[in-house]
Amino acid sequence: MSDYKSGSNLEKVLRSGQFAFTGECGPPQGANVEHLREKARHLKGVVDAVNVTDNQTAVVRMSSWAASLILIQEGIEPNFQMVCRDRNRLAIQSDILGVYSLGIRNMLCLSGDHQKFGNHPDAKNVFDIDSMQLIHTVKTMRDEGTFLNGQEVDVPPRLFIGAASNPFAEPFDFRVYRLAKKISAGADFVQTQCIYNMDKFREFMKRAVDMGLHEKCYILAGVTPMKSVGMALYMAKQVPGMDVPDSLIQRLRGAGKGKAAEEGIKFALEQIEEFKEMEGVAGVHLMAIEWEHKVPEIAERAGVLPRPVV
Amino acid sequence: MIVAQPKPIKEILEMVKDFRKILVVGCKGCVTVCNVGGAKEVGILAASLRIARRRSGHAIQVDEHTLERQCDPEYVAELKDIIGGYDAVISIACGVGPQFLSERYPSTRVFPGVNTQFMGGAEAHGVWSERCAGCGTCVVHYFGGLCPIARCSKSLLNGPCGGSSHGKCEISKDVECIWDTIVNKMMEQGRLNELLEFRPPKSWTTARDGGPRKMVREELVK
């Protein structure tokens, strides 16, 4: 019997000390299984696990657990995301048992975007528990073998527990402490918000390393390549908690017509190079939004292929 | 106080379009303080209804009455001799008012004239904001005296989330991120350690989630 917490591929890669590389795939706004399979196939063998988003930006999509299972059918390891917006603690715990029973081994715990952003703004939200409590719930079920009410779980779910961290949200000084709190609550790995402001991220990581957080939890740096100047402007102005420096926008503009996407990829590659060397960073989480087909090229150019087999 | 806002006059006119003798009932409690349901607003609504109906060629009688409180049977009883003379009653108290009137006078048609918003207070003249979600188990002392259940859009007990930006909530630039305020206050006061403490899932049994609530204080029951 291994001493892995879950035995997931992602856990094994991280435990082996190799630089992890994870991807992301949003389920379709419908039952378009073929489209999902097609998007996911670009990621096969190119990343260690694929995050499957849970009604991201509060837009209704195929459920993250169902899409995660489809990825498993494709031979791809999912990182099942769950948000607290849509479920109370009964549904949360039963879904945790359900996904584990069907072969899911990684789970990312999130609060979730407010429904006001999405396509059902009239919805009632739940938020019975928050992301911190969700992390703790999964850990309690896995390690204590009990539900939130203290009753015994008949075969505990052995999940590798993920959390998100946004070093760019405010108040900045508290962000590293909040990360520490998530680690104490039970996070085994953390994926950060998309990083564009490298100075701020270096400072954040320095503080995390000073506190020894990188020794208690694997920290994966979030990278989203910019496809265009328009995307950069949108991220800078419209997406809460996103920090896009003007210098990056100018750089994309300066690339000239039709070349912004390549410049965006170049910036991402430079980031990945730096993250490989940055103390405390255990890997990269590449969120190529609706750009899955570009991931193999980015991975190749970033020198992270072939992916380790552990 | 309980803060309310007037329903659009069009909506009220539509509600009472089939009635010819109407009583508008105000309340001297919270809704008087937030300038929506006191004697003055009763007068304004009654006059608006009269004018609108006269203009449309369906003149009606609209009378005015303001109770000390609509959430107390002894004051609601004050209407017993007059309420029978009306086809409809419009209550401009909070949501408690029309229900106390409906319960006390079952044969009377009662309509709400305001939309009850929240439990809060006046930030400035003409500006009110929410403070309490009535969860039934107050914990504001953990959060620098500020309530994240009522004031965080996600009711996070271990905030702030990743959407906090420049002191504002991700849902709107008009909404304060209360967690930003809580964190800054606690850090300034050297109380970071309290924020690092894990707040476990809350029991919502005392909130509305536990079912409609009732409180009996034996020492006061006659």
Tens-place pLDDT, residues B48-61: 999 999 999 999 99
Cβ contact A115:A164 at 8 Å: no
Question: B42 φ, ψ to 5°?
Answer: -60, -45
Question: Is the pLDDT confidence value at B157 over 60?
Answer: yes
Q: Count the helix, strand and coil residues of chain B and give each as a percent rounded to the nearest 5.
A: 35, 25, 40
User: Which 8-state DSSP code applies to residue A54?
Assistant: S
Q: Which helix (DSSP H) or strand (DSSP E) does residue B12 occupy?
A: helix B9-15
User: Which 8-state DSSP code applies to residue B7?
Assistant: P
Residue A244 CA, chain-centre distance (Å), reads: 19
Structure confidence at residue B222 (pLDDT): 82
Q: Find the largest Cα–Cα distance for chain B.
A: 69
Residue ranges covered by each domain of chain B? 2-118, 133-209
Q: Which of B157, B167, B187 lies nearest to residue A173, judging by beta carbons?
A: B187
Q: Which of B153, B184, B201 lies nearest to residue A148, judging by beta carbons?
A: B201
Three-state secondary-structure class, residue A272: helix
Q: For A239-257, give the DSSP string.
A: STT----HHHHHHHHHT-T
Cβ–Cβ below 8 Å for A131 and B161 = yes
Angle B4-B5-B7 from CA coordinates, rounded to 5°: 125
* Residues of chain B found within 8 Å of residue A197, distances taken between Cβ atoms: none
Domain architecture of chain A: domains with CATH: 9-302 (3.20.20.220)
Cβ–Cβ below 8 Å for A170 and B167 = yes
Cβ–Cβ below 8 Å for B196 and A130 = no
Q: Does B185 touch chain A (CB under 8 A)?
A: no
Q: Does A58 touch chain B (CB under 8 A)?
A: no
Cα-based torsion angle of the residue sequence A71, A75, A79, A80 in order, rounded to the nearest 10 degrees: 40
Q: Does A193 touch chain B (CB under 8 A)?
A: yes
Q: For A112-133, give the DSSP string.
A: ---GGGSS-TTPPP--SS-HHH
Give alpha helix (H) positions in chain A. Answer: 9-15, 33-41, 64-73, 89-101, 131-139, 172-185, 198-210, 229-238, 246-254, 260-277, 295-302
Which among A36, A126, A138 is positioned nearest to A88, based on CA atoms?
Answer: A126
Structure confidence at residue A1 (pLDDT): 45
d(CA B56, CA B51): 9
Strands B2-6 and B114-124, how do they pair? antiparallel
Q: Which residues lie closer than 8 Å to A156 by C-beta, 6 or more apart?
A: A141, A142, A143, A145
Percent of chain B predicted with pLDDT > 90: 99
Give alpha helix (H) positions in B64-135. Answer: 73-76, 96-104
d(CA A293, CA A43): 8
User: A257 to chain B, minimum CA–CA distance in Å?
Assistant: 32
Cβ–Cβ below 8 Å for B183 and A129 = no
CATH class (in words) of the domain with range B2-118: alpha beta
Q: Does A7 touch chain B (CB under 8 A)?
A: no
The tokens for B208 are 């509305």
User: Which 8-state DSSP code applies to residue A144?
Assistant: I
Cβ contact B30:B92 at 8 Å: no
Terminal C-alpha separation, chain B = 27
Helices A89-101 and A64-73 cross at an angle (nearest 10°) of: 10
Q: Which of A127, A131, A185 lies nearest to residue B155, judging by beta carbons?
A: A127
d(CA A132, CA A304): 32
Cβ–Cβ below 8 Å for B192 and A177 = yes
Q: Does B203 touch chain A (CB under 8 A)?
A: no
d(CA A170, CA A225): 23
Cβ–Cβ below 8 Å for B201 and A111 = no
- Nearest chain B residue to A181, by CA: B196
Three-state secondary-structure class, residue A64: helix
Three-state secondary-structure class, residue A135: helix
Q: Which of B163, B199, B201 lies nearest to residue A89, judging by beta carbons?
A: B201
* Residues of chain B found within 8 Å of residue A181, distances taken between Cβ atoms: 158, 196, 198
Per-chain mean pLDDT for chain B: 97
Terminal C-alpha separation, chain A = 16
The tokens for A119 are 């396509």
Interface with chain B: mutation pick from A89, A130, A191, highest number of B CBs within 10 Å = A130
* Residues of chain A found within 8 Å of residue B172, distances taken between Cβ atoms: 116
Low-confidence residues of chain A, pLDDT below 70?
1
Which among B137, B95, B100 is positioned nearest to B114, based on CA atoms?
Answer: B95
d(CA A264, CA A91): 40
- Nearest chain A residue to B187, by CA: A174
d(CA B206, CA B135): 6
The tokens for A117 are 């952003």
Interface with chain A: mutation pick from B139, B155, B179, highest number of A CBs within 10 Å = B155
Structure confidence at residue A240 (pLDDT): 79
d(CA A150, CA B109): 50
The verdict on whether omega for the bond into residue A306 sits within 30 degrees of 0, i.e. cis, is yes
Q: Rg of chain B over CA atoms, in angstroms?
A: 22
Cβ–Cβ below 8 Å for B162 and A125 = no
Three-state secondary-structure class, residue A279: coil
CB pairs under 8 A between A and B: 99
pTM of the model: 0.96
User: A22 to chain B, minimum CA–CA distance in Å?
Assistant: 21
d(CA A153, CA A19): 34
